[in-house]
Each structure stands twice: as C-alpha cells, then as structure tokens.
Amino acid sequence: MIDKSRILLTGASGFIGKNIVESYLSKRYCILAPSHKELDLTVCKDVDKFFLNHDVDYVIHSAVKPGHRNAPNKDDLFYLNSRMFYNLLHNTSKFKKMIYLSSGSVYDMARQDLDNVNEDFFGHFIPEDEHGFFRYVTAKYVEKIEKIVELRIFSIYGKYEDYAIRFISNALCKSIFDLPITIKQNRVFNFMYVDDLMPVLEYFIEYEAKNTTYNVCQDSPVNLLDVAKIVNEVTGKNLPIHIAESGMGYTYSGSNSRLHAEMPSLQLTSIKEGIGHLYDWYGNNKNLINRDLLLFDK
C-alpha cells in the first residue's frame, strides 16, 4: 500500500474548506482537518504542538477571519489573520510546502477597477481596507519564502457559500422561492466554479511551481446582469431583475494567463454549466435555505 501525502487543511469548516474535504482530494491524500476547538491557529504554542504530534507533508491554508458585510464580528481582523499565517510559518521546517489561498484583494479592489490585472500589478497600490491590507502584507512576505505558493482567488462560487450575500447563490436561492433577483449595482467579475480549484491544488501539491503567486479565476469576466439572465435561463424562469443603483461599479477581474501557462491542460467550467450544477445542488438541499434571509439585501 502506498502511503498518502498528509495535508493539514485549515479552515475546513468554511466554504472552500468544506468543498475541499468533500472533493476527490480526500481520496487522493490524507487530509487532516482539525476544527477550531481542536486547533486554534491564533495560538502559536498550539500550532507548534500540532506539528510535533502530527506528520504533515503539505499545508493548505484557507482559514480566515472574514471581513465581508455579513461577518458577525470584524474585530481584530488584521491581527488574528496575521497570527494564523505566521504561526503556521513558524513551523516551515516541519512541512514541504504551503499552498496559501489568498485573494485578488491584494491588488486593492475597494477603490478602483481591477480589469484583467496580472500578478505583476501587485504593489502598485496598498489596499486601505483591513482585509486587503492583511493580504498585501502576507503577500509581501510570500515573495521571500520558497516554501509557499500563493493562489490569489478572485470570485469563486459553489455549494456552502453564504447565499445571503454571494450573488450567484443568492440569485439561485431566490429563484427557488420565485423571488426577484436583486443587484445592488452592476459589476464585472471573474466567477470561478469551486470544483475547478481542486485540480489546481493537486497540481501545486504534486509539482514544483515556476512562480510563487498565481491568479486563480475564470477565463472570461461577466457582469452581474448577464449572470442574472443566465440564472433565469438555467432555472427556466423569467423572474424580474432589479438593479438598485445605475451605472457600473468597480470591475474585479484578473488574468489567469500565468496559471494556464503552468497548467496548459486546465479546463474551467463555464459560468452556465457551473450555475446549472449549483442549482441542482440547491434543489436537492432546499432544507438548508432560510427563505427569510433572502427577503432583504445586505
């Protein structure tokens, strides 16, 4: 029997973490997914003890204290996220590589258009929002460490995301209950289906990366109004689409050309196909949807 590589997955109870645990990667590797009670990443001695008691080959770091508009508590966001990151790096001698799931927010998404930006755009601006600044500070450190591959994920969607605020899931859940689809302001995003992240993770576990940072996003950007129309098409409904503010908000899209150059065989799920898969999942898990959360927009 061939021993499987052992992976410490942080943030296993979150949106991306849950999808990783339920993916084919759990059969490919031995994934250690401790809960917060089992491992508090903000406490250095606890992290050190975990690595002393467990053999770990790779780390997939997806844990993060969220700063989005539906986050219940944004206190100490920069401090706690930084502690988790550096407590893991305190143990770099005990693992081969860390795959750090970062964000396009490192480029400063809150104040300007990010239109097909590539990895070299990093550093042109220092984000003023706390989450973006945390990503920026850690990304500056990643530049100096050989053992880390930073995946800058843009707009990723799929099962277990927060349907109260995440647009694609919000629109699909509203469709299930025949509610109007609402858009605060039309914007352009690179929506990537979460299942497409799994072969990317597998690649960077199995192979040495040519670079330290990669944008991870869909090939083609799409605006929210067109996404809403696709939702109507996929669901076979013709629900009204309400846009609260006129004009276009900031574009949030990145270039994935570096990722494709590294993984030329990578095939990404089209937005229509991904929405279809997610709609089927919500249809089979309607009991997980609280209709009351869909009646007002945050």
pLDDT of residue 2 exceeding 70, the answer is no
Q: How far apart are CA 5 and CA 73, in angstroms?
A: 36
All structural domains of the chain: 6-294 (3.40.50.720)
Q: Is 116 exposed, middle or buried (0-12, 13-18, 19+ CB in 10 A)?
A: middle
User: Which residues touch 17 (CB under 8 Å, ≥6 apart)?
Assistant: 9, 10, 11, 33, 62, 63
* 8 A C-beta contact, residue 271 and residue 228: no
pTM of the predicted protein model? 0.95
| Whole-number pLDDT of residue 4 | 92
pLDDT band, very low/low/confident/very high, at 68 (cuts 50, 70, 90): low
| Whole-number pLDDT of residue 74 | 72
pLDDT of residue 1 exceeding 60, the answer is no
| Whole-number pLDDT of residue 70 | 66
Q: What element of type H or E holds 262?
A: helix 257-262
Tokens of 35: 């809960």
Q: How far apart are CA 51 and CA 45, in angstroms?
A: 10
Q: How far apart are CA 61 and CA 47, in angstroms?
A: 13
- Summarised one tens digit per residue, pLDDT across range 182-220 is 999 999 999 999 999 999 999 999 999 999 999 999 999
